[in-house]
Amino acid sequence: MHGTFTHPDWDGWEGTSSDPNDRQFGDITAALEPTETTDVPIVLVGEPYDGAVIGRKGTREGPLEIRRSLASTKAAHLSAGAPSLEGESNAPDESMAVIGDLGDLELPGSGVADVQASVRTAAAAIYELDAVPIFLGGDNSLTYGNVVPLLENEDGGDVGVINFDAHLDCREVHHEPTSGTPYRQLHEAGLEAYVAVGARHFETSSRYVEYVREQGGTIVPADAFADGPRAVVETVQNALATVDTLYLSVDCDVLDASAAPGVSAPTPGGLTTRELFAAVGALVADERLAGVEIVECAPPLDTNGRTVDAAARTVAHAIRGVLEANS
């Protein structure tokens, strides 16, 4: 596989509960080498980078802290008929793994364009695995490298991206890409469909709203959740009904600032965690899904781990949805 990965220096994937009846994500996740052949349906990929952040930095610490929180999150989902992650034993054992952790992608120390190129090469190889990748960012500039290999796949057909974000991130590139330019770059690379979910009034330029509409994109503002997550999910699904491949991105600033203070630009008027979990869980339960990412989680800017925990549980809901689609 192209790209170099390292496993972060931490206490590793194992459950932290003293209750023998508990089964946590740490119990069903195993660190794997990218060259290993596995039959896990989901792989985690860390992308520790914040060199393109427009505002406050700190997202390079996101992948490790999201892992820590996820490891101690219980794996049971309460909905009837939900795919079970439960097993007969809690002993961490790679043979029982549902999720493989490939580690962190080592990224160059040069410019943002070089980082995006490195991510692009690694992501292309990851998509060749028989597993759905969940990329743990890192800033939003990484989205370009994560998605563009899907546009280059001749067998992938039309590609649509669902972007949970307070902003539209379709600024023009001046000198170098930023965390605000990935969807402009992707449209220029041939992205067929784009849906922004949770965008805020008074948080973006009218010109960028016009740009998205000129590209045939759909904007579902945060206040659309007043009718409930199900209505939003239906709107998104209708907008992407004709695409062949889906990619889902979650920028943590889509959440209200009270739920996610640990982001570059926290703002009021955003989604609740419950709204985000419900929408993500439903939208990833789609056989067309090729990949998921969660970006812009900045632990140094967080308060009492609220943003990190919200990010980790978003990943948990995404995992459950992917398993539902493949069950």
**7-66 pLDDT per residue, tens:** 998 888 987 888 888 889 999 999 998 777 568 999 999 999 999 998 899 999 999 999
Q: Summarize the confidence of residues 247-256 as an average pLDDT.
A: 98
pLDDT at 211: 97
Averaged pLDDT of the chain: 92
Q: Which residue has the higher pLDDT, 18 or 278?
A: 278
pLDDT band at 84 (very low <50, low <70, confident <90, very high): low
pLDDT of 88 above 50: no
Task: Supply the CATH classification number for the domain 5-325.
Answer: 3.40.800.10
pLDDT at 325: 86
Domain boundaries, the chain: 5-325
Three-state helix/strand/coil letters over the chain: CCCCEECCCCCCCCCCCCCCCCCEHHHCEEECCCCCCCCCCEEEEEECCCCCCCCCCCHHHHHHHHHHHHHCCECCCCCCCCCCCCCCCCCCCHHHCCEEEEEEECCCCCCHHHHHHHHHHHHHHHCCCCCEEEEEECCCCHHHHHHHHHHHCCCCCCEEEEEECCCCCCCCCECECCCCCHHHHHHHCCCCEEEEEEECCCCCCHHHHHHHHHCCCEEEEHHHHHHCHHHHHHHHHHHCCCCCEEEEEEEHHHECCCCCCCCCCCCCCCECHHHHHHHHHHHCCCCCEEEEEEECCCHHHCCCCHHHHHHHHHHHHHHHHHHHHCC
pLDDT at 157: 92
pLDDT at 287: 95
pLDDT band at 160 (very low <50, low <70, confident <90, very high): very high
